Amino acid sequence: MDEQWEEELAKFSKMVPSQKIIWLSRLLFFVSMFARDTYQVGTDYVEKPEKLRKYNELLHRIASFQLEIAINKEVRKPDKQFFLMLAAAIDEIGINVSTLVGVMKSSQVGWANVL
């Protein structure tokens, strides 16, 4: 796993559930924005259907993990296992990790009271 993901995992693991849900919400928001490059803006035409499918699967996995935290599921995927999956999926899709982590950090400016 990339050093940046290791750092994010260390921070994430120390968060309380409500903070984790906010972090995952931010991740969902930005990954969905990156997914917009798979279709032609202003139309229903998908230019990169295979890539869009990978984004969809990743978004599903993030949302599922978020839901497990939100409902306080007794047995859920460990944080490290989720981050290993996340790092692999981000790499497979071709999202620049520095860019993703950077936009997530910059979006926290107005969230200082929450995190």
The answer to whether residue 11 is domain-embedded is: no
Per-residue tens of pLDDT for the chain, all 115 residues: 889 899 999 999 999 999 999 999 999 999 999 999 999 988 889 999 999 999 999 999 999 999 999 999 988 999 999 999 999 999 999 999 989 988 888 876 454 444 4
For position 2, what pLDDT does the model report? Answer: 86
Burial of 23 (0-12, 13-18, 19+ CB in 10 A): buried
Residue 2 lies in a domain: no
pTM of the model: 0.88
- Residue 85 belongs to some domain of the structure: yes
Contact 29, 62 (CB under 8 A): no
C-alpha to C-alpha distance for 96 and 100, rounded to whole angstroms? 6
pLDDT value for 113: 44
Q: How many domains does the chain have?
A: 1
Is position 31 within any domain? yes
Is position 5 within any domain?
no
Written as six digits, the tokens of 54 are 């990978």
Is 9 a member of any domain?
no
Which residues span the domain enclosing 20?
A: 16-108
Cα(63)–Cα(42) distance, rounded to whole angstroms?
Answer: 26
Tell me if 6 is assigned to some domain.
no
**Is residue 39, in this structure, part of any structural domain at all?**
yes
